[in-house]
Homo-oligomer: A and B are copies of this chain.
Amino acid sequence: MNLPLEAATTLADELEALLPGRCSTAPSVLEQHGKDESYHAVAPPDIVVFPESTEEVQQVVVLCRRYGSPVIPFGTGTSLEGHVQALRGGVCIDVSKMDRILEVNADDLDCLVQPGVTRKRLNTHLRDTGLFFPIDPGADASLGGMAATRASGTNAVRYGTMRENVLGLTVVLADGRIIQTGGRAKKSAAGYDLTRLFVGSEGTLGVITGIRLRLYGTPEAISSAVCPFDTLAGAVDTVIRAIQFGIPVARIELLDEVQMDAVNRYSGYDYPVSPTLFFEFHGSQDGVREQVETTKALAAENGGGEFRWANLPEERARLWQARHDAYYASLALRPGSKGWATDVCVPISSLTECILQTRADIDASGLIAPIVGHVGDGNFHLAFVLDPDDPQELARAQALNDRMVERAQQMGGTCTGEHGVGYGKIEYMDKEHGQEAVQVMHLIKNALDPDNLMNPGKILPDEA
């Protein structure tokens, strides 16, 4: 579904006049901006624009409003639940040219960036300051996209998610209003928390054009390790005990044996093919030593094997590359396949049961779906490796996903710990929040975007 041809043509002309040479209707560009990294079908926008400032975004939004055109913000296209698909056509705002790091305040541990800056580029920029930005969803995503989707990832168990680490935002609203939310103080009790409202709103309430982030001092000591387990239950129980013990572990990641096999094949590692935990510890030398001792004892009690350590930066990078390669390694298990990455998050005490039941369900289904997870948060992922042209297989994956989400929700958990809703998880919103709370989300959406032009069709089910 796209804009009427005449409107699209005139709008494109106006946008080209506004942003000469930074406006495209080339089919390849439209196609590239109409899809994410998951199996969801391409839904290309009518036009893609590349603004360079908040004011340009504002002008684009005002024009779109005049034409009744949807507006879809686009960072790096690495989301997974159909967030960037232009379901009703319209204008995709690609923020990749808004890539300046505007401030780094080392004394206050904060920085200000444009939305197109990626997390890796920020960390490269910070290298000499002794600071770093910890949120790491795997992909080298844009910080605007990470804020918009409330991203988290491997370090969240210690440092929190984008919810905790965005101090403030600049946002262009549907009516062209530009607002600043939050501020530079570490806390504030001055009115509604607009920052947290926009973090995770997936472009449905406005376009994020500036982000102030918390930074952290690089730890004195960092130590990473990989430990295989006899059983999946033993690995997960180790995680639960570590969290309940209050060990301030920086990363604690699970890869099941299917995933370890995929990673070994893809990246040429020789890890044991068994359920495995990847750890990282941050702190002072003594602090890290203490965390390591306690964790090793917990692992040993739960059937853990030898810890394989990595302490030098290059060694650690190689170790974590294995973890970050997980999704692509899964896809490589089956050439020509498409991935469908889904995630849930449950209270930590239910994690073992939720993972074991899910693993049994996968095994019974005959589907290929490695499990990998940010288990310290109670969060884990499946990556279905699918033949995208086989509707039956897709239906089986859909049914398994439904059961997993229902299981997580019944345990008091959520249909998505970090991937977000997009349109892939819209159908689970009522069940999770109750119709009344979803109605309240609609009230807020309608108040800020009465014409439903901001990334329509995402997060909220159509109103009855």
Contact = CB atoms under 8 A, between A and B. Distances in A.
A415 B123 CA distance: 32
A124 interface: no
A337 to B, nearest CB: 25
A108 B348 contact: yes
Given A347-B185, A413-B185, A432-B183, A194 B441 contact: yes
Interface of A: 105, 107-110, 149-152, 156, 160-161, 163-164, 173, 177-181, 183-194, 196-197, 199-201, 205, 216-217, 240, 243-246, 284, 286-287, 290, 345-349, 377-379, 408, 411-421, 425, 428-429, 432-434, 436-441, 443-444, 446-448, 459-460
B192 A459 contact: yes
A390 B439 CA distance: 50
A437 B179 contact: yes
Contact of A190 (B173, B178, B290, B432): B432
A263 to B, nearest CB: 25
A416 B152 contact: no
B191 A348 contact: no
22 contacts: A109-B348, A149-B189, A150-B193, A152-B189, A177-B436, A180-B434, A184-B411, A185-B377, A187-B377, A189-B417, A190-B415, A190-B428, A190-B432, A191-B433, A191-B459, A192-B197, A193-B193, A194-B441, A286-B286, A286-B290, A444-B444, A444-B448
A410 to B, nearest CB: 11
Given A190-B425, A192-B459, A290-B286, A440 B185 contact: no
B448 A413 contact: no
B434 A191 contact: no
Given A246-B217, A443-B448, A183 B412 contact: yes
Nearest to A405: B190
Contact of A150 (B189, B408, B415, B421): B189
A419 to B, nearest CB: 6
A184 B347 contact: yes
Contact of A107 (B152, B246, B349): B349
Q: Which among A287, A408, A425, A459 has the greatest number of chain B C-beta atoms within 10 A?
A: A287
Contacts of A439: 177
A193 B199 contact: yes
B429 A347 contact: no
A406 to B, nearest CB: 14
B217 A347 contact: no
A191 B443 contact: no
A415 B216 CA distance: 25
A283 B133 CA distance: 24
